[in-house]
Amino acid sequence: MTQIVSALTIAGTDPTGGAGIQADLKTFQEREVYGMSVLTSAVAQNTQGVQAVHHLPIDFIERQLDAVFQDIKPHAIKTGMISTIEMMELIANYVSTDSIPYVIDPVMVSTSGDALMEESSRQVIRDVLVPKATVVTPNIPEAEILVGFTIQNIEDMKKAAKVIVEELGAASAVVKGGHLDGKAVDVFYDRQFHFLEADRVNTKHTHGTGCTFSAAITAELAKGKSTLEAVKMGKQFITAAIRYPLNIGKGNGPTNHWGYRLKELPNQGGNENESNNND
């Protein structure tokens, strides 16, 4: 019997479906991985911004995690919005389990500019969670918070990725270049540098790109792909999701989670010169 591969997302919600656990579960499904979710925060948001955030009680988050791990142990885990120190310290106990691949999307600010992580939590994510990560996927503002210096060009991105791995302790890092001007280049570092490029897409519909990209990487790691293969496939997936927008929402609309169907992707990792304007 073929083993069913599963992945777990630990994150907040998006009731309009473009980001958070909704985006993660859509991505897992599209990548043919059984998706599971543990809710950290209920977020009232849409393509125009965040209206309200309600953090779930820490004991209830623990009950959700126990329910998953006691029944269906995931083959890979990703975290998105984990806003408080208590959440991070709790989750650290579960992402250390049996060397399960662990992807951190360090969600600190939404696409619309709203803060999603408490200031006091930023040091804890650096010290407690990043050292446990298989791959960390910050955009440039998030990378600047993690490493403590301004990123203005490719050389700065390389320096930041190296700090995340060699000083903060992650196994690898992808610093995404969508916030820089000109052709976007994403820098992946796993003790070697890899540069992923693709044509920049002129669109405002980029809500949830970071969630979707990291979820695609998580799905491929769950299948047993190497980190480089998983990152390259994640890049192909998010490139298609941005390239074929749904054109819905009054603000920064969501990406198209079935966009890759419009341009078939290979089963293995793709062109190492691929990137785009993901966040």
Helix intervals (H) in 121-226: 121-124, 140-147, 154-166, 209-222
Q: SS3 of 58, please?
A: helix
- 53, 42 in Cβ contact below 8 A? yes
Active site residue: 78, 176, 223, 232, which one?
A: 176
Active-site residue, 208 included: yes
Please confirm, yes or no, whether 176 is among the known catalytic residues.
Answer: yes
DSSP notation for 107-132: --B-TTS-B-S-TTHHHHIIIIIGGG
Please tell me which residue in 80, 210, 234, 269 is annotated as part of the active site. 210
- Active-site annotation holder among 35, 177, 178, 208: 208
- Spatial distance between the Cα atoms of 248 and 233, rounded to a whole number of angstroms: 26
**Annotated catalytic, 148?**
no
Residue 206 annotated among the catalytic residues of the structure: yes
Strands (E), the chain: 6-11, 34-39, 41-46, 49-55, 76-79, 102-104, 135-136, 173-175, 185-189, 193-197
Catalytic residue among 206, 212, 239, 255: 206
- 177 has catalytic annotation: no
- How many Cβ atoms sit within 10 Å of the Cβ of residue 203? 16
Q: Considering 134, 137, 209, 218, which one is annotated as catalytic?
A: 209
**Residues carrying an active site annotation:** 176, 206, 208-211
